[in-house]
Structure 1
Amino acid sequence: MSPEIATLVPNASPAPVFDAFRYACWVQLVPARVNT
């Protein structure tokens, strides 16, 4: 986790942040596979 994210959500557990990051990656990867 980057310090920027840690300071934005100091009271949040890392799990939701990781899930959001993983979801964002998934959203970007799926259209990339569809276009190829």
Structure 2
Amino acid sequence: KINKIDDISNTLEGNLVSQSSLLVESSDSVSTKLCT
């Protein structure tokens, strides 16, 4: 059971990381468009 919880938390953490990196990339592209 503990292992399952660890797996779930790891996947949730990974999803958050990938989502936040996508957000950073999109905001970066938007800021560069605004700057040019």
TM-score normalised by length of structure 2: 0.57
Question: If you compute each CA radius of gyration, which structure gives the higher value, 1 or 2?
Answer: 2
| Residue type at the aligned position of 1:15 | D
Q: Which runs of 5+ in 1 are unaligned?
A: 1-9
Give aligned pairs, total.
Answer: 26
Runs of 4+ aligned structure 1 residues displaced above 4 Å come to none
The structure with more helix, counted as a fraction of residues: 2
% identical aligned pairs: 4
- Greater relative contact order (Cα 8 A, min sep 6): structure 1 or 2? 1
TM-score normalised by length of structure 1: 0.57
